[in-house]
Amino acid sequence: MSLFDKIPNNVNLSDDKRLQRALETWQPDFINWWREMGPSGFQEDQVYLRTAISVSNDGWAHYDYVKMPEYRWGIFLTPPEPGRTISFGDHAGQPVWNEVPGELRNVLRRIIVTQADTEPASVEQQRMLGLTAPSLYDLRNLFQVNVEEGRHLWAMVHLLHQFFGRDGREEAEQLLQRRAGNPDTPRILSTFNEATDEWLSFFCFTMFTDRDGKYQLASLAESGFDPLSRATRFMLTEEAFHLFVGETGIDRIVRRSAQLTKMDPNGDARKHGGIDLPTVQKYINYWFSSAVELFGGEISTNAAEFFSTGLKGRYREKEKYQDHAALEGFYSLDVFENGRIQQREVPLRNALNEVLRDEYVSDCERAVRKWNRTIAAEGVGFELKLPSRKFNRKMGIYAGLYFDTDGNPISQEAFEARRDNWLPTPEDRAYVRSLMVPVVEPGKVAHWIAPPAKGIEGTPLDFEYVRGEGVNRLRGNA
Ligand code: BYC
Ligand code: FE
Ligand code: FE
């Protein structure tokens, strides 16, 4: 592996001329896409970024200033595990595949394309955020997330090029042609077409939507198709930072909200230029209910097929489960029948989307408990709450039905009557947007969010994380 290869990699790219040529042909299209759809206004700035340069545990990342279009998007797989076998499904115990089994080609390609599509989508959704960054620290973190989502696209395109021939090359091109939120050429999955145009939504997105990424990637890391397993394992090491950005971002917002709540005789943080906690709650309701859709239907034959074929396992399949066939047993699912919620026993393999969603929901609950400790530590009596997964669903068995945030079935009229208490109103969104004025002096942080606990990689908080034309332009406007 050489850092100075045109495409840094640990897959011996230079030994495979055909693959190398395919990727070198795609690379300029990727860069064009990045310049057009990547972060707006900062393409020439120097950003203090980490770059993956190897897969070793001790320091796979290298930190330095780099212009984003010159970021070295590389291809890294975690090293193969000798003698690895398929750990679940109908082929459990057989050696993992290093080539695509013919009969699984279409379904595997679809999984990879779906995963791949989310990566550039998120960059597109976030492209205007730099212009209203609450600090240089946050600006840098946004760009770090963006370049790594770009690298995740590279990781999936590598698999498409290496294993899917011409179809794969066509899919790789189309990944650069769809556009988040464009009604004519939308991204594949729902959430990846929703506006993420202010920072409260950005932190909710990296908290809730990137967290779907963590659980989907972890399921694919169990895959019997070894190159997919190894690619997603490495992606997970980067993903941890995205989740950190989201979880601590919301934590900093609620800390400041609590502080400003205390200052006001009526407990209204908005009077003091903050985001009031009830508004934070509405954004949590909105983004959580959007992100839970990404796990697919509660009862899913696709999920059963992904599992039985050995392509997509459960979260920590190998460590957490004894029965890796999942042929026996049922999942007890809440269904709405005859006007009320009843439990129905669903064969386990058909309920695997719900099994994964359970893992996700409890992880989100953990984060909400943490935010509540922050609020309590500021001496404010307000508790945030994760809404029921049944609330505000557009897909799956709860779609078309109405539930309150506790998951009680209600009428459409009752839902409409309370919608504005539960979900951000146009006025809420306008208010949050009105707070989004850029703060780009080193060490300064916007009023509506508390400063971070510490800088990146031991840097002081007044470190100049981003410098150049884009930042100067914002200073000039300020
Ligand atoms: N939107 O059996 P069903 C990330 C479709 S995030 C639109 O219920 P299945 C990241 C579905 O495709 C992780 N369509 O669901 C985060 C199917 O279509 P067909 C992304 C949807 O297939 C932040 C039909 O509905 N990775 O990395 O078991 C920043 C019925 O499907 C949606 C993956 O998702 C939806 N929400 O599950 C950057 C992993 N949900 O067959 C990056 C790969 C379902 O009728 N994907 N449909 O045409 C999968 O494993 C599965 O496709 C899903 C869906 C879990 C997404
Ligand atoms: Fe990603
Ligand atoms: Fe991510």
- CATH number for the domain spanning 158: value is 1.10.620.20
- At which residue do the structure tokens 């995740």 appear? 152
Q: Per-residue DSSP letters for 436-456? A: -----STT---TTSPPPSS-G
Cross-strand partners of 333 = 344
Candidate from 144, 152, 189 with most ligand 1 atoms within 8 A of CB, to mutate: 189
Atom of ligand 1 nearest to the CA of 211: 16
Structural domains in the chain (count): 1
Q: Which helix (H) or strand (E) holds 341?
A: strand 340-347
Centroid of ligand 1 to alpha carbon of 319 (angstroms): 25
CB-based contact 71:150 (threshold 8 Å): yes
pTM: 0.97
pLDDT at res. 478 = 55
List average pLDDT for each run of 10 residues in the chain, which is 478 residues long.
69 93 95 98 97 78 95 94 96 97 98 98 98 98 98 98 97 98 98 97 98 98 98 96 98 98 96 98 98 98 98 95 92 93 96 98 98 98 98 97 97 98 98 98 98 97 98 86
CA of 91 to the centre of ligand 3 (A): 30
Ligand 1 mutation pick, 110, 156, 210, 216, max ligand atoms within 8 A of CB: 216
Q: Residue 350 falls within a domain, yes or no?
A: yes
d(CA 131, CA 121): 19
Does 322 map to a domain?
A: yes
In a domain, 422, yes or no: yes
DSSP state for residue 386 in the 8-state scheme: P
**pLDDT value at residue 60:** 80
The confidence score (pLDDT) of residue 2 equals 46
Structure confidence at residue 272 (pLDDT): 98
Q: Measured in whole angstroms, how far is the alpha carbon of residue 228 from the centre of its chain?
A: 18
pLDDT at residue 4, as a whole number: 53
Q: Residue of the nearest CA to atom 26 in ligand 1? A: 115
Nearest CA to ligand 1 atom 35: 189
Q: How far apart are CA 308 and CA 428, in angstroms?
A: 46
Structure tokens at 298: 């509660």
Selection from 168, 151, 395, 408 nearest residue 297 by Cα = 395
Question: What does the pLDDT read at residue 21?
Answer: 93
Distance 147 CA to ligand 2 centre (A): 10
Packing angle of the helix pair 352-377, 277-292 (nearest 10 deg): 170
Q: Whose CA is nearest to atom 22 of ligand 1?
A: 302
Pairing assessment for the beta strands 466-467 and 330-337 based on DSSP bridges: unpaired
Structure tokens belonging to residue 36: 């057009």
Burial class (CB in 10 A: 0-12, 13-18, 19+), 307: buried
Report if residue 5 sits inside a domain.
no
Domain for residue 3, yes or no? no
| Residue 127 identity | R
| CA of 356, closest atom in ligand 1 | 55
Residue-number span of the structural domain to which 140 is assigned? 13-477
Q: What is the C-alpha to C-alpha distance for residues 112 and 120, in angstroms, rounded to an integer?
A: 14
